């Protein structure tokens, strides 16, 4: 057992960080396309706070603005006024990992090649990126960034030279590119959406009067007053042009694996993904937790934001009253986050506070969506006890997070995965809780019986739906040697 005193220091504040949100519009009505893409990105802000950008296609000429920061910081009025009107526009918000802070990789990316201009925005992670990079570089390709989007754009552009249309080029690129990708692309005259064959990341189609939209999540359509038409199917390519929407299903029909964490933590509760309401999924998770890990208590509360709905579900199933106890400051900007990078415990303190009057003298059940590195849960238990809670029972609305993710979150190694170091009992002791219970894998798998797709649960089980990058095999090998 690890006994490192600094166990909960110097690790990132949040658990799973999602890397991107994408949005696109094909305009057939009279409205401000840039303003509406901005609003769409604003609704997707939870998927990435590190950069934002918009590319507008004005008769094949694509102009792009992008910057580090949240949507309101990165895309100022002054900057947006430099963009022309256009028929097609795409946008992107991004969280990118600390070791790859690469301004050249901020999206959308705009490429100019022999067939015209191409703008691309990507959510996910390509698992064979090293192999494709190597192959293309051997052929003389030069890349400005190490971004997946640039690689995908390059592959599509090269396929376009030997195919008759952009849709054929995208379908052909999908034969080559492995892993997780939900894309919006603007060609000179078309808006394209593409989702990898497993459907790791969501992608949805919306309509506002005669205009079409493609978004990472359906919540963005609601905020624009648009109608949610349907999801892009795993493996599907949709192309929108003057004649409407065309669908290509060459890569559809195989095993599907939507990231279970989209429902657990990443997506907004007002989104519907592949036929399942995120809100309902979290509510069911709370109910299942109450059945699997009952305990006598006076109050159930949740860690904002994603733990709140599960706490309501736990309360409904158990009959124990629900109440607010944890208050989160949602407005931690990049400046504070950067200043506090090496003092993450302090950052947790800035971000989270406890309503003392709610918990004083009470036996409290606190629900969180997941425990990845353990930073936040340790601090929350401490805060609740300091506020006078008599007992603190921690319940987690997902199974122990044991394995890295290669499909678009920032958990790329086993480093600091707390569930690998401690059993539930050990971790409970370590964080000072009175009991700790995770939702079982079986419980998780039963939460969405109406889902149109299967779920990826690889971070819990180690059973990856695809081949994984080569370094994982090396990692496993070194683990064997250590034993």
282: closest CA among 298, 306, 257? 306
> Strand, helix or coil at 417?
coil
Q: Which stretch binds ligand SF4 (CB under 6 A): 229-237, 258-266, 287-295, 376-384?
A: 258-266
Residues β-bridged to residue 185: 120, 192
Least distance in angstroms from the C-beta of 453 to ligand SF4: 12
Distance CA 438, CA 374 (A): 13
- State both tokens at 376: 């936040």
* Cα–Cα nearest to 220, from 27, 52, 19, 42: 42
Among the listed ranges 115-123, 138-146, 259-267, 323-331, the one in contact with ligand SF4 (CB under 6 A) is 259-267
Q: In whole angstroms, how close is the CB of 233 to ligand SF4 at the nearest point?
A: 18
Burial of 295 (0-12, 13-18, 19+ CB in 10 A): middle
Kindly state whether residue 407 participates in binding ligand SF4, applying the rule CB under 6 A.
Answer: yes
Residue number, 112 or 476, with CB nearest to ligand SF4: 476
Q: Which residue among 405, 427, 468, 472 contacts ligand SF4 (CB under 6 A)?
A: 405
Nearer to ligand SF4, 155 or 411 (CB): 411
Kindly indicate which of the ranges 60-68, 157-165, 424-432, 455-463 contains the residues binding ligand SF4, using the contact rule CB under 6 A: 455-463
Is 188 within 8 Å of 117 (Cβ atoms)? yes
Is 20 among the catalytic positions? yes
Task: Look up residue 181 and give its two tokens.
Answer: 């990708």
By CB under 6 A, tell whether 278 contacts ligand SF4: no
Radius of gyration of the chain (CA): 23
Piece in contact with ligand SF4 (CB under 6 A), picked from 21-29, 256-264, 268-276, 314-322: 256-264
Question: For residues 205 and 468, which CB has a smaller minimum distance to ligand SF4 in the complex?
Answer: 468
CA distance 479 to 458: 18
Q: Which two tokens stand for residue 316?
A: 């409904």
**Strand residues in 320-418 grouped as ranges (E):** 326-328, 352-354, 363-368, 391-396
Which of 33, 41, 259, 289 is in the footprint of ligand SF4 by CB under 6 A? Answer: 259
Interface residue with ligand SF4 among 41, 288, 458, 472 (CB under 6 A) is 458
Owner of token pair 């990692």: 475
- 212 part of the interface to ligand SF4, by CB under 6 A: no
Work out whether 42 is an interface residue with ligand SF4 (CB under 6 A).
Answer: no
Q: Under the rule (CB under 6 A), what is the footprint of ligand SF4?
A: 16, 200, 259-261, 405, 407, 409, 456-459
Q: Enumerate the active-site residues.
A: 20
């Amino acid at each position: 057992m690890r006994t490192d005193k600094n166990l909960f220091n110097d690790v990132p504040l949040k658990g799973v960080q999602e890397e991107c949100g994408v949005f696109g519009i094909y305009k057939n009505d009279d409205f401000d396309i840039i303003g509406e893409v901005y609003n769409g990105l604003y609704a997707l802000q939870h998927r990435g706070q590190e950069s934002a950008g918009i590319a507008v296609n004005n008769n094949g000429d694509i102009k792009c603005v992008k910057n580090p920061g949240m949507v309101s910081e990165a895309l100022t009025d002054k900057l947006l006024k430099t963009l022309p009107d256009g028929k097609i526009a795409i946008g992107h918000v991004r969280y990118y990992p600390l070791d790859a802070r690469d301004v050249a990789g901020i999206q959308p990316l705009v490429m100019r090649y022999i067939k015209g201009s191409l703008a691309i925005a990507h959510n996910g992670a390509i698992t064979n990126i090293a192999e494709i990079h190597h192959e293309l570089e051997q052929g003389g390709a030069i890349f400005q960034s190490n971004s997946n989007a640039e690689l995908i754009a390059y592959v599509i552009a090269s396929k376009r030279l030997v195919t008759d249309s952009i849709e054929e080029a995208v379908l052909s690129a999908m034969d080559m590119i492995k892993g997780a990708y939900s894309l919006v692309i603007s060609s000179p005259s078309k808006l394209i959406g593409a989702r990898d064959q497993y459907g790791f990341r969501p992608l949805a189609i919306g309509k506002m009067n005669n205009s079409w939209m493609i978004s990472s999540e359906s919540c963005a359509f609601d905020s624009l007053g648009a109608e949610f038409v349907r999801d892009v199917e795993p493996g599907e390519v949709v192309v929108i042009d003057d004649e409407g929407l065309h669908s290509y299903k060459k890569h559809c029909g195989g095993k599907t694996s939507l990231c279970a964490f989209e429902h657990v933590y990443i997506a907004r509760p007002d989104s519907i993904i592949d036929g399942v309401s995120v809100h309902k999924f979290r509510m069911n998770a709370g109910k299942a937790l109450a059945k699997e890990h009952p305990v006598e208590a006076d109050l159930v509360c949740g860690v904002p934001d994603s733990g709140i709905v599960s706490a309501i579900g736990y309360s409904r199933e158990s009959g124990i009253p629900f109440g607010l106890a944890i208050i989160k400051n949602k407005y931690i900007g990049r400046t504070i986050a950067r200043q506090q990078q090496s003092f993450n415990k302090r950052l947790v303190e800035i971000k989270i506070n406890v309503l003392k009057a709610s918990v004083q003298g009470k036996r409290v059940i606190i629900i969180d969506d997941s425990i990845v590195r353990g930073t936040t849960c340790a601090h929350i238990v401490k805060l609740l006890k300091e506020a006078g809670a008599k007992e603190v029972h921690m319940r987690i609305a997902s199974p122990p997070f044991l394995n890295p993710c290669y499909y678009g979150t920032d958990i790329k190694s086993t480093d600091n995965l707390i569930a690998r170091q401690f059993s539930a009992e050990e971790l409970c002791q370590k964080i000072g809780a009175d009991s700790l219970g995770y939702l079982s894998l079986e419980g998780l798998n039963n939460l969405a019986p109406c889902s149109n797709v299967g779920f990826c649960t690889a971070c819990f089980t180690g059973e990856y739906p695809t081949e994984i990058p080569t370094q994982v095999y090396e990692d496993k090998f070194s683990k064997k040697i250590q034993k």
